[in-house]
Structure 1
């Protein structure tokens, strides 16, 4: 075998996991059906904040670890796609955020004059905001520098990967629904609109739990991301002019220039939601160790490094167990 580990999936979860393993000295090959530009990760708005990812306590720990890694990468934004940006999470109180709020430096309650009309509470924080396409390209370069190999190939079964390496890490996101198979993995459709930025330099989010319609403004180098939707069990990724117009209409009151801002693009992705992120190990029928790392919902980049390191620990534990058995 040419590889110690096959990582299946080339989105942000697969690439961060592969980087973590390769930089620890393992020979890693990534199997990804799609280029990173066609993954759900490439569509994401990229705000580092736990959203639709469970269980909450573990997600907070994964998120804080990722927060620190991404914050360090923000020193090279042109290369990594990561910047630290101030913003407001409306309709939220710090005490409702648990250990996540405790670990984010400077996170505080928003003052009344920092909140738009109609919003009585909120928190302010400076957090990583990630240009996902730039970041995914950075991860691929970092992967190559660590000696790993990236192959474009579809995978019909995890056993197929298990015949190519003694360890498989399953980072297939929504694809795990069929590949595992795991019917608990469900799509949550996310639609965003990108417009020319009329001068917004801070992020703003107003969302309530499982609401299908959310409101957010995320300033990126390529434009201002306006969002969004969170529609459960919706598989459609096609254009929807009415939905795009509704997003712009919801966001327009938060900046006077938005109503006339030129629309650049509409993007749609399917978040891989699961009632609980699955990070656990099992043996495949052929004997290979399989570590699952999927079901991250709307928090992929937010938990990416924390989950990658946990998956890597399971790989190491499995390696140790195999040596002991021998």
Structure 2
């Protein structure tokens, strides 16, 4: 066998896991059905903040580890896609955020003038905001530099991967619904609108964990990402014009100039939600070790490094 580890899945979870393993001197090959620009990760807004990812305490620990890594990568934003940006999370209090709030330096209650759109509470923080397409390309380069190999290849089964290497790491996201199979994995559809940025440099989010309609404004190098939706069980990836118009209407009270901002692009992605992230080992029928790392919902980049390191520990320990 040429590879010690086959990582199945080439989104942010798969690539981060593969980089972590390759940089610990493992011979790693990634099997990705799609190029990175076609993955769900490439559509994501990229804010480092736990959202629709469970269990809460473990997710906070994974998120804080990723916060540390992405903060370091933010020193080279053009290369890595990560920047540190200040913003407001409306509709929440620091006391409600548990260990996440305790671990983010400078997180504090928002002042009234920092709460646009009629919101009565919120917190302010400086956190990583990631241009996902730049970040995914960076991860691919970093994997190659560590000796890893990326193949555009769809796995028919985990057993197929297990016949190619003694260790398989399953990072297939929504694909785990069929590949494992795991019926607990289901889509949460997200639609966003990219508009020209009229000069906004702070992020804003108002998004309850169970709300189907959310409001967020994320300044990115490619434009301003406006969101969004969180529709559980919806599989359609076609942008809906009425939904797009509603997104702009929700964001306009936050920044009135957005009502007339020129639309650049529409994006739709399917978050791979599961009631609890699955990071655990099992033996495949042929004897190979399979470490599962999927079900990260709307928190992929937020938990990516923490989950990658936990998966790598399971690989190192033989399960």
TM range (shorter): over 0.9
Residue in 2 that maps onto 1:133: 133
Please list the CA deviations of residues 111-159 of structure 1 after superposition, one character each: whole Å capped at 9, or x if unmatched.
1221124211100000000000000000000000000100011111000
CA contact 2:191–2:239 (8 Å) conserved in 1: no
Query: Which residue of the partner structure matches residue 307 of structure 1?
Result: 307
- Equivalent residue, structure 2, for 1:248: 248
| Deviation digits for residues 238-284 of structure 1 (CA, Å, limit 9, x no counterpart) | 12101001101110111121111000000000000000000000000
Q: 8 Å contact 2:116–2:253 — kept in the other structure?
A: no
Aligned mates of 2:35, 2:7 — CA distance in 1: 15
Query: TM-score, normalised on structure 1?
Result: 0.97
Structure 2 residue runs of 5 or longer lacking an equivalent are none
Residue 86 of structure 2 is matched in structure 1 by: 86
Provide the rounded CA distance (Å) in 2 between the counterparts of 1:205 and 1:234. 22
Secondary structure of 1:163's counterpart equals helix
Q: CA RMSD in A?
A: 0.7
SS state at 2:3 partner: coil
| Correspondence for 1:107 | 107
- Match in the other structure for 1:324: none
Q: Tell me how many residue pairs correspond in the alignment.
A: 319
Q: Aligned equivalents of 1:187 and 1:198: distance in 2?
A: 33
Partner of 1:38: 38
State the match for 2:258 in structure 1.
Answer: 258
Structure 1 runs of 4+ off > 2 angstroms?
none
Q: Tell me the distance in 1 between the aligned counterparts of 2:53 and 2:311.
A: 17
- Whether 1:95 and 2:58 are equivalent positions in the alignment is no
Matches for 1:8-157 after TM superposition, within 5 Å: 8-157=8-157
Distance in 2, Cα, partners of 1:239 & 1:219:
21
| Alpha-carbon distance in 1 for matches of 2:245, 2:168 | 43
Equivalent residues of 2:13, 2:300 under 8 A apart = yes
* Aligned partner of residue 317 in structure 2, secondary structure: helix
TM-score scaled to structure 2, two decimals? 0.99
Q: What's 2:180 paired with?
A: 180
SS in 1 for 2:113: helix
Match in the other structure for 2:282: 282
SS in 2 for 1:282: strand
Name the stretch that deviates more: 269-278 or 108-117. Answer: 108-117
How far, CA to CA, are the matches of 1:199 and 1:116 in structure 2?
Answer: 16
Q: Deviations 1:66-124 (Å, cap 9, x if unpaired)? A: 00000000000000000000000000000000000000000001112211242111000
How many Å apart are 1:301 and its aligned residue? Answer: 0.1
**1:270 match:** 270
**Paired residue secondary structure (2:286):** coil
DSSP 3-state at the match of 1:53: coil
- For 1:188 and 1:289, the matched residues in 2 are separated by 30
Following superposition, the deviation at residue 208 of structure 1 comes to: 1.7
